[in-house]
Amino acid sequence: MKNIQVSSVFISFYIIVFVTLLFSRAEAQAPQSFIPAPTNIDQSSCPCVLPDNSVFFRVHAPYASHLQIDLAKKYDMEKDEEGYWTVQTEPVDPGFHYYFLIIDGVPVADPASRTFYGTGRMISGIEIPSGSERFFDIKENPHGTVRTHHYYSKVTESWRNLVVYTPPDYENNAEKEFPVVYLQHGGGEDETGWTNQGRVRHILDNLIAEGKAKPMIVVMADGHLPGLPGGYSTSAMENIKKEMTEVIVPFVDAKYRTLQNPRNRAISGLSMGGGQSFYIGLGNLDTFGSVGVFSSGIFGGIRSVPGRTFDAENEIPGLLTKASDFNQKLDVFYLSCGHSDMRIEHTIHAVDTMREHGLDVEFNSFDGDHDWNVWRESFRDFASRLFK
């Protein structure tokens, strides 16, 4: 059995090299002007991006009867006589997108692309280049470091992962202490999302180099607690609040040179993680002095109850009636949403209501939907307002 395993893995490797060669030969049939997506596995020439930002896919599957690409919408692929299936999508917005390859009805990760943890599983991602250097691209600035830790959680009674970004000068000055922003992913994602999909390390390296953000530590935790209720329910919010305030913050403050006061501690997140930040942050203003809520569904159909109206005062007692108390304790209370996100109306309504009651709310919106392009923009915007 063992020898078969060896040969299996190594033969697979050589088959891949061989198929890659085949691909390069077959490339003559592919669109003339294209670039391989940056998210491709090293040897893959497909998927490739055409000048109009449509994407060309090719998959070898001579024995399958129906192949599709699900990238924003489903595209049927067409098979040639050599068993290669191809399709060219409509133009796709620059930036990061999840996608599936669907083989005879089964959605899987495309072997040609990097995988990312999203929608509760490993899923393909594609980065559509914008044609010019962006704020989330790696540049020749001083670079921070991304570290991974395991910590034991008394909430889940298990070992859990934590991802931490430290700014470029964290290592250079052994005495200096830094502010910290806690940054939560969305539903179905995990603690790797903000690094892999969100490119938070490049965003901060660039902001810091340009003098647009204070050097800060970013802590990215897993917002799903296995074995415990998830989503937006009250018990889910109580559990993640306990995990954050009683386990993660003390772990980080013990492990890193942090400034340990609310003026130097922020919490933020996207979608479900935005909801977590709203409840954990506004409910613990002696711990967190700034709160960022990106693209969260809590402002309409809160806690997964469709049609239920967001009642800020009910969710966080005093938020409307004692707004000045909150203003005094909050440095930055920030909301954002994508222009095309179905959450935008509810979010703007919540911002208006809170402002009418005298609460200081900062708000911004960006081109895009419920997607990582809006979240990269949101974090850039939020981070540049923090710790000033």
Instruction: Tell which positions 86-125 bind a second copy, by CB under 8 A.
Output: 90, 93, 97-98, 100-101, 103-109, 111-115, 118-122
Site for a second copy in 151-190 (CB under 8 A): 152, 159, 171, 174, 187-188
Residue number with CB closer to a second copy (256 or 357) = 256
Q: Does 5 bind a second copy (CB under 8 A)?
A: yes
Residue written as token pair 């990061």: 96
- For the record, the structure tokens of 99 come out as 């996608």
Q: Report the C-alpha gap between 194 and 126 in whole angstroms.
A: 15
Stretch that binds a second copy, among 144-152, 283-291, 306-314, 315-323 (CB under 8 A): 144-152
Instruction: Name the DSSP class of 80.
Output: -
Q: Report the C-alpha gap between 38 and 35 in whole angstroms.
A: 9
Q: Which of 255, 322, 357, 385 binds a second copy (CB under 8 A)?
A: 255
Measured CA distances, 91 to 18, 56, 69, 79, 118 (Å): 31, 10, 14, 22, 23
Q: Which of 369, 381, 384, 385 binds a second copy (CB under 8 A)?
A: 369
Q: Does 4 bind a second copy (CB under 8 A)?
A: yes
Q: How far is the CB of 377 from a second copy (least distance, A)?
A: 15
Q: How far is the CB of 141 from a second copy (least distance, A)?
A: 11
Residue 75: closest CA among 85, 65, 88 = 88
- For the record, the structure tokens of 85 come out as 């299936």
Q: Which of 142, 226, 250, 358 binds a second copy (CB under 8 A)?
A: 226
**# residues contacting a second copy (CB under 8 A):** 76
Backbone phi and psi for residue 303, each to the nearest 5 degrees, phi listed first: 50, 40
Crossing angle between the packed helical segments 372-383 and 200-209, to the nearest 10 degrees: 30
Q: Report the C-alpha gap between 105 and 363 in whole angstroms.
A: 42
**Strand 265-270 relative to strand 290-294: parallel, antiparallel, unpaired?**
parallel
Backbone phi and psi for residue 336, each to the nearest 5 degrees, phi listed first: -150, 165
Site for a second copy in 16-45 (CB under 8 A): 16-17, 41-43
| Half-sphere exposure for 229 (CA within 13 Å, toward CB) | 11
Q: Does 148 bind a second copy (CB under 8 A)?
A: yes
Q: Which residues pair with 65 in a beta bridge?
A: none
Helix runs in 300-384, H state only: 312-315, 323-329, 344-356, 372-383
Q: Which of 21, 22, 138, 305 binds a second copy (CB under 8 A)?
A: 138
Q: Does 65 bind a second copy (CB under 8 A)?
A: yes
CA angle 72, 95, 129 (to 5 degrees): 115
Residue number with CB closer to a second copy (56 or 98) = 98
Q: How far is the CB of 194 from a second copy (least distance, A)?
A: 14
Q: Does 63 bind a second copy (CB under 8 A)?
A: yes
Q: Report the C-alpha gap between 200 and 379 in whole angstroms.
A: 8
Q: How far is the CB of 174 from a second copy (least distance, A)?
A: 4
Site for a second copy in 275-334 (CB under 8 A): none
Stretch that binds a second copy, among 137-145, 176-184, 323-331, 353-361 (CB under 8 A): 137-145
Q: How far is the CB of 321 from a second copy (least distance, A)?
A: 34
Q: How far is the CB of 368 from a second copy (least distance, A)?
A: 7
Q: Residue 387 CB: number of other CB atoms within 10 A?
A: 21
Residue number with CB closer to a second copy (13 or 325) = 13
Q: How far is the CB of 90 from a second copy (least distance, A)?
A: 7
Q: Does 368 bind a second copy (CB under 8 A)?
A: yes
Residue number with CB closer to a second copy (121 or 308) = 121
Residue number with CB closer to a second copy (4 or 28) = 4
Q: List, as one string, the DSSP characters of 38-63.
A: TTB-TT---SEE-TTS-EEEEEE-TT
Residue number with CB closer to a second copy (171 or 352) = 171
- For the record, the structure tokens of 286 come out as 């002696």
Binding mask 323-362 for a second copy (x = CB under 8 A): ---------------x-xxx--------------------
